[in-house]
Structure 1
Amino acid sequence: MKKIRVLVVDDSAFMRKLITDFLSEEKKIEVIGTARNGEDAIKKVALLHPDVVTMDVEMPIMNGLVALKEIMMKSPIPVIMLSSTTKEGAENTIKSLQLGAVDFITKPSGAISLDLHKVKNEIIEKVILANTANIRHISSDVLNKKSTLKGIRYSKIDSYKDQVPTAIGKARLTKQIVCIGTSTGGPRALQHVLTKLPIDFQAPIFIVQHMPPGFTQSLANRLNTLSMITVKEAENNEVVQNGIAYIAPGGSHLLVNKTGSSLIIKLEKSEIRNGHRPSVDVMFESISEIYDYRKIAVIMTGMGSDGTEGLKKLKSTGVVKAISESEQTSVVYGMPKAALNTQLIDKVENVEDIAASIMDFIRN
């Protein structure tokens, strides 16, 4: 069996040894080298040609972000970032995901984590997953300098009075909801989609991105600076507005309830679903209970099948158009494949074309 060859990059000798020891316990993995900073990492990648790199975000001489960008431009390979949970650490982690990192791992207690054993299994699992990740599309983004994508302005949305709404019995549906679920590779995919929606977008957008607490606020802030629509972390009991994308906070399920004529966001910490909280299924199922809206459901890159059961519920209870990301552009083709296998998907799109599909469904 061919082993996964890993390069471990960290400025701390203690952390390098700890991570190396953890990975070496897994028979599928071989640590072929270590590097003490980003500059050293670039040289070792060129020399050793590893299958996967684990890299600290914060390092002297050359930090992980600069090194990551160089690696993705010169010799793209799957990179997993290790980050602290500080505000700066979270912001840098989000930048790294948009520069091409496949995933990240949170150090439990800062730069030198004596309790790193708490995430030992996560490190091993994510290295194994990263080895199968599709990074061709990510690396082409970096080469084309799309890591800071700007919004592409569509023409103004036609007046809804001029559209022919879809009918359910006697009901005429003119209001719409967009709901998006994604996981590994999601921050980059969300950037592709949200930055291409127009400022006068006539629907609210609800997003579940699998991510731990402390990082979704930085993700929302980053996407908000790049998008024409407003992107924010969702708040409990918040009244929903069109043209705003609401990202479920890490550690909380996002549900949408209808009260009178308003939609209200509810956040809860009920049991984990599909290994996740927030869960796409939980969000989709709550939206399926809102009957006087047309819905557009989007499932993008990610491992597993979260969103599939929720999609079935959505499709059985209302007028729903469903989009899944293509295998060609998914970093991990798990969630989109599971959704496609339900035979309930209306359109399969490369990530850069999903926004246009959403606009087509909104207009028609």
Structure 2
Amino acid sequence: MPVRVLIVDDSGFFRRRLTEMLNADPRLEVVGAVADGAQAVEQVAKLRPDVVTMDIEMPVMDGITATRRIMTVTPTPILMFSSLTTDGAKATLDALDAGAVDYLPKKFEDISRDQDEAKRQLCERVYAIGSNKRAVHPQRPLSTTAAPTRPAVAVAAAARPVPSAMPAARRGQYRLVAIGTSTGGPVALQQVLTKLPGNFPLPLVLIQHMPGSFTPAFAQRLNQLCAIEVREAKDGDELKPGLALLAPGGKQMVLDQRAGRTTVRITESEPGQNYKPSVDVTFTSVARIFPGQALAVVLTGMGADGREGARLMKQGGSTVWAQDEASCVVYGMPAAIVEAGLADAVLPLSEIGTAISQRV
């Protein structure tokens, strides 16, 4: 059966265009298209779509309010359409706070200048979110630091190593924690980082697939929620205990070591680097600077970014963890780690932050 989609947007032109693009993919079926958030709440309850695409600014009821209502009454995966502006970033983070699982630029040329590629990425994203019946988790909203509730999905205890089953790390074994993620990552990162104490003894580097206009606001929001310090990385920033540096969107972040100081370098992407920032790029530099002394964690996300960087880290003796399928919005990046045989542990999102704290 195709993934059933409800479109919510006050622009008739956009509704028609999006309907045409999604219906052209045999895996997708648009079952309704409405013009405001109030209608969205009603139609979600009536049609029970697999996924909703939601605009933010609409008359009668805005997309953030509608998302909050839907997640309360009829929880459904929601993909927001956002403008790539500072205000758009704040509104998008508010939408994730309300329960949306992901976002895309409303201007398709911001996805890709190639129209066919933009259409492909749009359909892939909608399909990935709508086909995952576990994409809606009870551990909302983004801004709460309360302990998350496990998804209502049975997971056999033997299907994954739990923290207590993992070999104990040697004291001083790790000098850095590197975390990579994509779709579903903003909420997942918050769930992990808010479990870390203010006196966390290691530096962290964070790689989240996100536009450059979003990462400053995202880092600021995480910093307000976490006991550790979180900020967007700047070229030349030094790694420090209890400091998490978030790779800036649209750039690449690599580690550099000179005169006993380890810093980050922020660089432009090279041809062929599809992800900006890329988990592989950062992990590869971690493997070079901290061989056998880093903990890599790969969280929810589409694709396989992070697999090759994690492979280099693992070959150097470092540890690699992956988020389990049951707690992922999209089980792509962690699946690539597991299928490549690189995962030393496969953990539910609710346990990763605690496990990090216990093993460093």
TM class, shorter-chain normalised? 0.7 to 0.9
Partner letter of residue 70 of structure 1? R
Counting only pairs closer than 5 Å after superposition, residues 191-230 of structure 1 correspond to structure 2 as: 191-230=190-229
Q: Which residue pairs with 1:268 in the alignment? A: 267
Report the AA paired with residue 349 of structure 2.
Answer: V
SS in 1 for 2:328: coil
- Which residue of 2 is the match for residue 158 of structure 1? none
Q: Give the structure with higher Rg (CA).
A: 1
* Structure 1 residues 118 and 345, CA gap change in structure 2 (3 angstroms): closer
Counterpart in 1 of 2:313?
Answer: 314
Match of 2:15 in 1: 16
What amino acid sits opposite 1:285 in the alignment? T
Contact between 2:4 and 2:130, CA under 8 Å: does it hold in 1?
no
In structure 2, distance between residues paired with 1:123 and 1:291 = 37
Which of 349, 352, 359 aligns to 1:354? It is 352
Q: For residue 322 of structure 1, what is the amino acid of its counterpart?
A: V
Amino acid of the structure 2 residue aligned with 1:225: Q
Distance in 2 (CA, whole Å) between partners of 1:188 and 1:70 is 19
| Counterpart for residue 323 of structure 2 | 325
C-alpha deviation, 1:277, in angstroms: 1.8
Q: Report 1:142-291 matches (<5 A).
A: 142=140, 146-150=141-145, 176-271=175-270, 275-291=274-290
Distance 1:134 1:332 in 2: 10
Q: Specify the alignment match of 1:343 in structure 2.
A: 341
Partners of 1:361 and 1:260 lie apart in 2 by: 29
Matches within 5 A, 1:286-305: 286-291=285-290, 294-305=293-304
Contact kept, 8 Å, 1:273 with 1:279, in 2: the verdict is: no
| CA deviation map 1:141-176 (0-9, x unaligned) | 23xxx5422278xxxxxxxxxxx966xxxxxx5761
Unmatched runs of 5 consecutive residues or more in structure 1: 153-163, 167-172
1:133 matches 2:128: no
Gaps spanning 5+ residues in structure 2: where? 148-168
Q: Structure 1 residues 165 and 326 mapped into 2: Cα distance closer, same or farther (>3 Å)?
A: closer
1:117–1:292: structure 2 CA closer, same or farther, 3 Å change rule?
closer
- Spell out, residue by residue over 1:11-39, the C-alpha distance to the aligned partner (whole angstroms, 9 max, x if none): 22222222222223223322221111111
1:156 corresponding residue in structure 2: none
Structure 1 counterpart of 2:144, which letter? Answer: L
Trace 1:33-44 onto structure 2 (pairs within 5 A). 33-44=32-43
Spell out, residue by residue over 1:163-206, the C-alpha distance to the aligned partner (whole angstroms, 9 max, x if none).
Answer: x966xxxxxx5761010011111111001001111111111110
Contact 2:292/2:319 (8 A) holds in 1:
no
Separation (CA, whole Å) in 2 of partners of 1:135 and 1:79: 13
In the superposition, relative to structure 1, how do residues 237 and 60 fare at CA in structure 2: closer, same or farther (>3 Å)? same
Contact 1:301 1:333 in 2 (8 A): yes
Q: 1:139 to 1:287 in 2, by over 3 A?
A: closer
3-state SS of paired residue (1:328): helix
- When structure 1 is superposed on structure 2, of 259-268 and 179-188 the one drifting more is 259-268
Name the aligned partner's letter for residue 27 of structure 1. Answer: P
Q: CA deviation at 1:81?
A: 0.5
Q: Hey, what does 2:158 align to over in structure 1?
A: none
TM value normalised by structure 2: 0.86
- Give the drift of 1:272: 5.8
| Deviation of 1:118 (Å) | 8.2
Q: Does the Cα contact within 8 Å between 2:83 and 2:106 map onto a contact in 1?
A: yes
CA drift at 1:266:
0.7
* Shift in Å, 1:61: 2.2
Please report how far the alpha carbon of residue 332 of structure 1 lies from its aligned counterpart in structure 2 after TM superposition: 1.0
The secondary structure found in structure 1 opposite 2:321 is strand
Residues of 2 paired with 1:109 and 1:295: CA distance? 38
Compute the RMSD of aligned alpha carbons: 2.5
**Alpha-carbon separation, structure 2, partners of 1:85 and 1:7:** 23
In 2, the alpha carbon distance for the partners of 1:266 and 1:295 equals: 18
Paired with 2:133 and 2:228, the residues of 1 have a C-alpha distance of: 29
1:238–1:45 distance in 2 versus 1, CA, 3 Å: same
Aligned residues: 336
Preserved CA contact (<8 Å) 1:134 1:330: no
Secondary structure, aligned partner of 2:262 = strand
Task: Read off the aligned partner of 1:280 and give its amino acid letter.
Answer: V
For residues 312-356 of structure 1, give each alpha carbon's deviation from its aligned partner in whole angstroms, at most 9, with x where no partner exists.
1112224x2222111110111111121122333222211111011
In the TM superposition, what whole-angstrom CA distance separates every residue of 1:81-105 from its partner, at most 9, and x where no partner exists? 0011221211111222343323211
Given the two structures, how large is their TM-score scaled by the length of structure 1? 0.85
| Structure 2 CA distance for aligned equivalents of residues 27 and 45 of structure 1 | 22
Q: Which residue of 2 aligns with 1:159?
A: none
